[in-house]
Chains A and B, each alone.
Chain A
């Protein structure tokens, strides 16, 4: 009796401590949320900690401004197009490439694999100027075909992760399919692709997190006057409107975070699993 009480108390203590830490952890986001409902003049470095009062409460005015005059929805659209097309392309092309590399043992496969591993370590600054020039020359500088650049720069990690997993798939299943008369394309889509589903989700999560939040690559490649992804839009607040309009900026930040949080809460299991799988392989 005494023993079990003694054992439960430290557990409860930890729960309390971690609850406090969690509240602090969420505070920065809550601060932005509260300020996004305040009028411009009530958001200064001295007053930002205050809760909105009836005088400073702006309702949804900041959100309306962010959507109507700052072009938030357009940015959201561009970000969605770029992320969806890039991730789909990466998943399809890189898994096919990884299958070839793991099943065909020749010089080219080995070289490709090594190059992929190598490209994972290279920092973006090394190629940023030449990459943006290459993209310009090949006219790969619109949201609709930027995915080719993402496929190229993201191929390393994706091929590496896929081939790590494919080494553990038994060869016999594929051979059986081939003997039954499937050509490699059929074998891939009917046999390998379904087995790869969990890995697809992991890689998809990692690539989505990267492409969705990427700032520098689209800034250098896209024409900022025509196309702004969400991170570019938020950075643009400081760069180009003279004095930073804090209200609409806070609203934009919240509008960026809310969909991410919803997706995260819905797919938490997959996202965390994806991170672990990606990290363990890396």
Chain B
């Protein structure tokens, strides 16, 4: 069968491969090359060596957005996962209304980042003006916590679903055995349930961390980086370097920042996967 199938390569693989080359491989390779060039379009690139990287890494807005993104990612990852896990614990206890609650908590996931950003901008600005505080466009603290709130609102439902699936896969025999052995509910949680859902924890941590680092739409719509780039995250900073700055040198610097960003995301993903995989229990 393998031999016959091999002859059908043009039918089965070629369309996807061609699109993949156009939509990913060429742009990726060009992106790497252009990060060493000065350019405004792909056709007028001039090789400049490492200078884009030097400029990118010494750019104060870039390092600020890096610190802001890290602060955001840490807090939102912890909050989302703790809250989602707690809700999942409650929703696996067969209480009344479980299906309705699950439906409601998951809903914000389906709404796009831009729309979510504007919904929360309206709400938060009203709240801030009632509290006689500066509005989002002038208020870095509110921008930071607003982004975290928005991210929690959107992601808790998604992670909750994954945790529920994990909790439902814990074999009932294990729970019974723990009960017979006289384990308290707290002991069952820490010694039985949590180790058994470690695969779900891995997945959720991975998703929340990478989502937080790559966050763009919500950032653009909620704060747009205001006031004065203070709430700009990495992805938005790169976008603004490309499209909001005058001068021929900025596109190259933006592309260099994008490469740094890419390496960062890959490194985080690898470290994170390795760290949690080693703690999983063999099922």
Interface of A toward B, CB cutoff 8 Å: 11-12, 14-15, 18-19, 22, 25-29, 31-32, 35, 45-46, 48-49, 93-94, 96-97, 99-101, 103-106, 112, 115-116, 119, 121-131, 133-134, 137-138, 140, 148-153, 155-156, 159, 171, 174-175, 178, 183-185, 188, 209, 212-216, 230-231, 234-235, 238, 246, 249-250, 253, 256-257, 260-261, 264-265, 268, 271-272, 275-276, 279-280, 282
Measured CA separation A28–B119 after assembly (Å) = 6
Measured CA separation A82–B113 after assembly (Å) = 18
CB distance B162 to A279 under 8 Å? Answer: yes
Given pairs A11-B95, A184-B11, A257-B115, 10 additional interface contacts (CB within 8 A) = A93-B19, A116-B20, A121-B210, A123-B258, A129-B254, A130-B42, A134-B22, A152-B19, A234-B118, A279-B162
CB distance B19 to A18 under 8 Å? Answer: no
- Contacts of B13 on A, CB cut-off 8 Å? 96-97, 100-101, 112
Which of B172-180, B261-269, B274-282 lines the interface with chain A?
A: B261-269
A64 to chain B, nearest CB (A): 20
Chain B, residue nearest A12 (CB): B96
Task: Provide 28 A-B residue pairs closer than 8 Å at the C-beta atoms, listed in order of the A residue.
Answer: A18-B97, A22-B100, A22-B101, A46-B129, A94-B16, A96-B11, A97-B16, A101-B13, A104-B2, A104-B6, A112-B13, A122-B265, A123-B213, A125-B234, A126-B31, A128-B239, A131-B27, A138-B22, A149-B22, A178-B1, A178-B4, A215-B114, A231-B112, A261-B110, A264-B107, A272-B161, A276-B161, A280-B203
CB distance A11 to B96 under 8 Å? Answer: yes
| Most-contacted residue by chain B among A134, A209, A214 (CB, 10 A) | A134
The majority secondary structure among interface residues of chain A is helix
CB distance B111 to A260 under 8 Å? Answer: yes
Measured CA separation A91–B15 after assembly (Å) = 12
- Contacts of A140 on B, CB cut-off 8 Å? 22
